[in-house]
Amino acid sequence: MKKIITTFLCAIVFSVASTFMIDDANKSIKVENVQENNIEENVIRSKQKKLSNSNSTVVVKFDCNGGVYQKTLKSFEQVVESGSLLIEPDKTKMTKEFAFFDSWITKDGRKWNFEEDIVTEETSLIALWEIDYSEKIETFNTINEYFLTKYYKSTDWHLTEKKSMKDVSGNIPIEVRDDDNDGKHDEIDKLYFPKSDIDAAIEASGIASTYGGCGPIAMIGIMDYFARYRNYTSIMANPLNSNDRVNLAYDIFTYTKTYEIGFSLSEEPNENVNSNLSNINNGIELLSGGAKDTLTLPDDYVESFNLLMLEKYHLDQQIVAHNQGFGFISKKRKIDRIKQSIDEGLPVTIYAAQAGFGTFADHYVNAYEYEVWEGQDMFGNKISNTIFNTRTNWGEDEGQDYNCHMDADMLETMFTGVIYYTVKDKNQIIRPIDFAKDFVNDNGQGQYFYYEKTADITTADGFTFGTARLRCGYIENQYVVLSSKRKDVTEAYLTLNFDIAVKAINFDISQWGTVEGFANNNCSITLEIPDETGEYVPEMSFLPFGMSTDKDAPDNYYLEFSHPTNSFKFRVKYNDPSGDRNKGRIVIGDMNLFY
């Protein structure tokens, strides 16, 4: 029961944060549509505690500084006796879009103390507002305008530092879930991860969420980045193929634990939520105001990500997600962690709860760029502010080409945190199409030669390596195939030689079809590396029984070599081969080298 209660409390914290976000009246916020009002000033005349014998009166003007009082008043006045205390205006009636009321200050920036400060002359007080840091900066039109609004009477704002993942890796994460049927750049949307793909994966997975949840969708954006731009093809073979994208989203939805918060009494909770929680169903609906959201806890996100890397994509420890944590992690540590990842060319995922009411509140986003801005406050002191550019994955109207900046000050709140990613080794992809030019005969056709052929291969991204092959060719303009079953053939092999020391490999392998003549006792299929004498010895062996017989749906493996190697060999042997047709065929697909 203790575990159930703990889980429930965590869920409440992260999903109905708006209920508890602000419990101090001077930080209440409402978004009001301010109507034009002929009353520009409201004069408040009241009896004050008299602190002197003066009978003179003074007027104190309250300037709402872009906000309003009592829904309509942009400014108002109090008329009091000189030497009196002011009546503090009702803080709960001070509203400004995307801001919390903080206090009243004098023109020189001093906070007014309504319990101690007396009025002796005409005075003007100005409302000081605290920006809702969870709102995207673009709401304020420009970054400069945002800072001028955030810091009262500040000046001279300018960019001093800017760093993007793109500076290192050449790319940034995509925007996920853009609507590819709204008439706005639909054809471009279909090349990325459009809403139609997400909806198809939701339907196939049977999850309770109607939109997938911002945690799993942020994870889709990260996984897509590693597959699309870093060539981890075991995650997603072809990012331009809708079926491959749907399969990736399906994996993430089915692996990631989520909680449906705010469900009605007539509904069943998500199967991932302990059934005993249904007894407090009504309490959740009350706390959430009846809204229905999909919650992913940060530790569940990390666990699911790493489990997928291990079990589904066979990238053991190559890519690892880490939750920096929240609670008492300082804002500076969070900012430093984000900057470090971006400097390394890696994205980060930022999550937030109890952090405001704007775009980033109660949400997971992927950050890929940071900027540092500097300005001067009203006293001429230098002030600095860091912001991040992000992917919200809400399907922005601008498609893939948009900015959505987050103020790093949002990370001051307790329930905000950073999920970062580490990559163990460098990687180099080798695809079958890289062999298209050199693994054919003089007529440009695939052929299984009866003698060894050598060739230097250069991949599409400029990586060069040497090869030696026997009975191995580029077949049907698509497949690298070894054929070992034919009269007078003893073996087929493909040897690759590198200038780099390869530590591990992730690769696809299958039989050509179902009638290759393989049996577990009449052949050997191995992946080999040279020992200290130069003799190739098996590092991994494959049994034909259970191996994929669909060349378009191969098996995928990850192998960490016993020692770094500059060469490896795929070898197929068939005992006592016969026949005049090319059989005993093994297909080698994508090879991802780690070094």
pLDDT digits (tens, 9 = 90+) for 110-131: 999 999 999 999 999 999 988 8
| Residue 342 CA: distances (Å) to CA of 130, 265, 349, 530, 576 | 28, 44, 11, 38, 57
pLDDT given at position 396: 67
Biggest alpha carbon–alpha carbon distance for the chain: 121
Cα angle: 214, vertex 393, 169; to 5 degrees: 115
pLDDT given at position 180: 87
pLDDT digits (tens, 9 = 90+) for 91-116: 999 998 888 899 999 988 899 999 99
Structure-block tokens of residue 142: 């420009």
Instruction: Provide the terminal-to-terminal Cα distance of the chain, rounded to the nearest Å.
Output: 48
d(CA 293, CA 177): 17
Sign of CA dihedral 88, 92, 93, 98: positive
pLDDT given at position 183: 85
Of the candidate ranges 15-24, 81-90, 129-138, 491-500, the one whose mean pLDDT is the lowest: 15-24
Measured in degrees and rounded to the nearest 5, phi and psi for residue 321 equal -95, 145
Q: Which residue has the higher pLDDT, 269 or 160?
A: 160
Tell me the pLDDT band of 577, cut-offs 50, 70 and 90: confident
Structure-block tokens of residue 499: 């200038």
pLDDT given at position 1: 32
d(CA 384, CA 413): 19
d(CA 277, CA 120): 61
pLDDT given at position 562: 97
pLDDT digits (tens, 9 = 90+) for 515-559: 998 887 889 999 999 999 999 999 999 999 989 999 999 999 999
Crossing angle (nearest 10°) for helices 242-255 and 298-307: 130
Strand partners, 593: 428, 505
Tell me the pLDDT band of 262, cut-offs 50, 70 and 90: low
Structure-block tokens of residue 107: 């023109």
Decide the pairing of beta strands 75-81 and 416-423: unpaired
pLDDT digits (tens, 9 = 90+) for 316-329: 899 999 999 988 89
DSSP state of 308: I
Of the candidate ranges 289-298, 481-490, 513-522, the one whose mean pLDDT is the lowest: 289-298
Cα angle: 494, vertex 430, 318; to 5 degrees: 110
CB 530 within 8 A of CB 496: no
d(CA 45, CA 241): 71
Tell me the pLDDT band of 263, cut-offs 50, 70 and 90: very low
- Residue 217 exposed, middle or buried by CB count within 10 Å (0-12, 13-18, 19+): buried
Crossing angle (nearest 10°) for helices 298-307 and 214-228: 40
Q: Is 270's pLDDT higher than 90?
A: no
For the chain, state the CA radius of gyration. 32
pLDDT given at position 266: 35
pLDDT given at position 573: 94
3-state secondary structure of 288: coil
Question: How many CB atoms within 10 Å of residue 528?
Answer: 20
d(CA 471, CA 486): 10
Q: Domains in the chain, start-ordered, CATH in brackets?
A: 30-131 (2.60.40.4270), 160-258+296-423 (3.90.70), 427-594 (2.60.120)
Sign of CA dihedral 438, 443, 444, 448: negative
Distance between alpha carbon 261 and the CA centroid of its chain, in Å? 22
pLDDT digits (tens, 9 = 90+) for 340-399: 999 999 999 999 987 888 889 999 999 999 999 999 998 899 999 999 999 999 876 677
Give mean pLDDT, residues 46-74: 78
Measured in degrees and rounded to the nearest 5, phi and psi for residue 372 equal -115, 125
HSE of 279, CA atoms in CB hemisphere, 13 A: 6
pLDDT digits (tens, 9 = 90+) for 128-151: 988 888 999 999 889 999 999 899
pLDDT digits (tens, 9 = 90+) for 189-208: 889 999 999 999 999 999 99
State percent of the chain over pLDDT 70.
85
Of the candidate ranges 29-43, 202-216, 254-268, the one whose mean pLDDT is the lowest: 29-43
Residues 6+ positions from 183 with CB-CB distance below 8 Å: none
Average pLDDT, the chain: 86
Structure-block tokens of residue 205: 């997975």
pLDDT given at position 195: 93
Q: Is 71's pLDDT higher than 70?
A: yes
- Residue 21 exposed, middle or buried by CB count within 10 Å (0-12, 13-18, 19+): buried
